[in-house]
Amino acid sequence: MRIRHILPQLAMGNLPEDPQHAALTGIVATAWSLAAQQAALGHEVEIIAPGQQGSSSRTIAGVRVRWLAPWASLNTPRYDLSFLAPLWLFMLRARPADVTHVHGNPYFLPRLRTRARVLHVQDLSIQPSPQMNRAVARADRIICCSHFVRHKLIETVSYPPERIGVVPNGADAQVYAQISRASARAALALSDNHFVMLYVGRIGPEKGLLVLIEALNRLTAQRETGLSSLSPLLLVAGSATLGFEGYPAAWQDRQTYEQQVRQRAQGLPVRFLGAVPRAELPALYRAADVFVCPSVYEEPLGMVNIEAAAAGVPVIASAVGGIPDAVAHGKSGLLVPPGDAQALAEALLHLMYDTTLCRQMGSAAQDLAVQFDWRVLAGRVMDIYAQALQGAPTASFQ
């Protein structure tokens, strides 16, 4: 099968020259991971993305990656056609695809050069309007990353619900299984006495880092040394500009927020690691005792929660948006109210005090993560492609 993935906008994240190893946003990581799995299955796969350094192409892990230079003159205050125009021109000359898989923006669903069109929705950016309804209607099938996103989409646009499926984001379980926890902790100079809490992702207001820092402050103040000899340590892997590399105008506010986080963290046991390359993340997850996702907005799913589970790490996350699809409360982790620093601190203390429960939840998380392996999910996506080509209804991921 000839498959064409389209990453429409730099605002959703930059596709770097080395996607196997560089830091990626969740949307870009999903597109790349699916494409790589499809290529491994023997399909002819390409990804088209905006090129910050001009137009170029190369084959990576069997995937033909094409970067098209945006036309800056077509980025106006009302419409941004800077990537749509060169994409249309490319499509007019491109070989027809069996399936074109658009990640995010339905306006990029092509009218030609493809047998079937699949829209992949991983956020809440689609807003109701007659124009949006017409754009979404071009999709033969829609994939949502969580049941929450599917529910929101059905409320937002006029589209047959039976043609909207749910396939979550995933992780490569085999990669995590090959990494020793002891070696991962040694590489970070962590002792057995450390209780390591990990955050991975963009540093922005919506991600709740200030809430996490306040929870750590309360944890250190409320910790009873008689109940645990462990020393808490928070690792923060990420940056304010992750995913906004092509939008320097957005950097100032986000960098200001990161400065606030760093200031609040002074005097607390925190290490800021910056944006960690994708190839190094599995070892970082394996080194952690618990993963924390303190989002204060309607997180569509939280791919990082699935990556942590694949590493055998329990997750403490906000009970918001699609996160409950990835975290089984009381089994693979704990869910707390968003923005509640005290509840977050208490959940962290609970697992720090009860290391047996922490290990049990980590084991349960790893068992749960099997269904989120990219090999399994790529098969689900291929089934949806077949349904799109045949016109059959799409079943939801269970």
d(CA 307, CA 310): 5
d(CA 205, CA 64): 36
Model confidence over 326-363: pLDDT tens digits?
999 999 999 999 999 999 999 999 999 999 999 999 99
Average pLDDT, the chain: 93
Q: Is the pLDDT of residue 290 over 80?
A: yes
The pLDDT value recorded for residue 78 is 83
Angle, helix 303-310 to helix 355-369, in steps of 10 degrees = 110
Answer left, alpha or beta for residue 348, where phi above 0 means left and psi between -120 and 50 means alpha.
Answer: alpha
Segment 203-232 mean pLDDT: 93
Using alpha carbons, select from 314, 364, 334, 356 the residue that is nearest to residue 228: 356
**Total number of residues shown for the chain:** 398
The pLDDT value recorded for residue 206 is 95
d(CA 308, CA 286): 8
Identify whether the C-beta of residue 240 lies closer than 8 Å to the C-beta of residue 255: yes
Model confidence over 133-186: pLDDT tens digits?
999 999 999 999 999 999 999 999 999 999 999 999 999 999 998 999 999 999
Ordered structural domains, the chain, with CATH: 2-170+373-390 (3.40.50.2000), 173-372 (3.40.50.2000)
Strands 63-68 and 56-60: antiparallel
Segment 214-239 mean pLDDT: 92
Q: What does the block give as tokens for 332?
A: 């693979």
Segment 263-281 mean pLDDT: 95
Contacts of 308 (CB under 8 A, 6+ apart): 198, 200, 285, 288, 291, 314, 315, 365
Taking CA atoms, 204 is separated from 80, 93, 242, in Å, by 24, 40, 10
Q: Is the pLDDT of residue 364 over 50?
A: yes
d(CA 251, CA 296): 20
Model confidence over 60-107: pLDDT tens digits?
999 999 999 999 899 888 888 899 999 999 999 999 999 999 999 999
DSSP code for 10: G
Of the CA atoms within 13 Å of residue 99, those in its CB half-sphere come to 28
Q: Is the pLDDT of residue 398 over 50?
A: no
pLDDT-derived band at 14, boundaries 50, 70, 90: confident
Q: Is the pLDDT of residue 11 over 70?
A: no
The pLDDT value recorded for residue 393 is 60
